[in-house]
Amino acid sequence: MPEGDTIHYAALRVGGALTGHVPDRIVTPHPSFARDRWPERLAGRPVEAVEARGKHLLLHFGGGLAIHSHLRMTGAWRVLPRGEPWPRSPRAAWLVIGRGDDAVVQFGGPVLELLTEARLRSDPRLRGLGPDIVAAAPFDEARFLRRLREDDPTRTFGDALLDQHTVAGIGNFWKSEGCWAAGVDPWRALAAVSDDEALAVVRALRPLMQQSATDGRQDRYRTIYDRAGRACPRCGAASRIRLRGQGDDNRTTYWCPECQS
C-alpha cells in the first residue's frame, strides 16, 4: 500500500511533468467517469501545483479546480515517457494526463475526484489530517502527541500510528520499521507508551521517509517488514521476526519480541 513517502515522491514526479503547463490531453478511461466531462471542464487550464498531504495527492489547476486522489491499497501514479511500456493494462488507468512526451497516469485507486478549491478546503478528510511526517515544514510534535493522547488509551501503539488524524503518512511498512528502529513494542497499549517513546518513532522515521520521498527508493530501508521468521538484524539469530494482524483492520505488524519492549 502506498504510504506518505510514496505519495510525496509521486507529487514530485507528477509536478515535474505538469506544473506550469496546460496539459495536451486529459482522458478518464474508467466508465464511472464517462459523464463527468473532465476533459471539457479542465480544458485550457494550467496545472499550478501538485502536492501531497499525507497519503492524499492534489493537482491544483488554474481557475480554482483541483483533482483529489487517494490510492488506498492498490492504486499507483506513474509518469510514463512516450514509448515506455506501461506497467499495467491501459484499461486499469483511471486518469491519463498527457503533456509533451509524458503521460501522467493514475492506475486504480478508489478516490479520484474533481472539485473546486473551496470544497477542497472544507473537505473533512483533509482538514482532519494530523501533522505530515514527510512534509518539509517542521513536524508539529506537540500536535502529534495531543492527538495521540486523545485516542483510546487501550488501543495498541502500532495500530494508533496508522491513524491519519494523529500523524499523516505512516502505513504498514513504516509502522513496523519505526517501532523496530525505536525499540518500542507495537503491541503495548497507548497508555503504557511514553511521549519520548512515541517521539522516538517519528524522529527515526522522518529522515528516512523524506529521503524516500525524494528518490522513490523506500525498499532500501526494509529491515524487518515482510521478513517474518528471519533473524532480527539487531539482536541476532536467537530471536526471530514475527508477524501478526493488528487492530480492527487486522493490518500486518512485524516486530522482534526480544529487542522491542
Binding site for Zn ion (CB under 5 A): 232, 234-235, 239, 256, 258-259
Residue 156's nearest CA partner among 184, 132, 187, 179 is 187
Closer to Zn ion at the Cβ: 94 or 254?
254
- Which of 155, 227, 242, 251 is flagged as catalytic? 251
Cell 513496523 sits at which residue? Answer: 176
Cell numbers found for residue 55: 497519503
- In whole angstroms, give the CA distance from residue 103 to residue 144: 37
Please, what is the Cα angle at 58 between 52 and 63, to 5 degrees? 140
How many Å is the Cα radius of gyration of the chain? 20
Is 2 part of the annotated catalytic residue set? Answer: yes
Closer to Zn ion at the Cβ: 76 or 259?
259
- Which of 53, 55, 175, 206 is flagged as catalytic? 55
Is 55 part of the annotated catalytic residue set? Answer: yes
Q: How far is the CB of 173 from Zn ion (least distance, A)?
A: 18
Q: How far is the CB of 240 from Zn ion (least distance, A)?
A: 9
Q: How far is the CB of 85 from Zn ion (least distance, A)?
A: 41
Closer to Zn ion at the Cβ: 199 or 231?
231
The shares of helix, strand and coil residues in the chain, as percent rounded to the nearest 5, are 35, 25, 40
Please, what is the Cα angle at 180 between 178 and 185, to 5 degrees? 105
* Cβ–Cβ < 8 Å for 202, 139: yes
User: What is the separation of C-alpha 195 from the centre of its chain, rounded to a whole number of angstroms?
Assistant: 24
Q: How far is the CB of 189 from Zn ion (least distance, A)?
A: 21
Closer to Zn ion at the Cβ: 136 or 238?
238
Closer to Zn ion at the Cβ: 199 or 235?
235
Q: How far is the CB of 232 from Zn ion (least distance, A)?
A: 3
Question: Residue 180 contacts by C-beta under 8 Å, 6 or more apart in sequence?
Answer: 223, 224, 234, 254, 255, 256, 260
Active site residues: 2-3, 55, 251
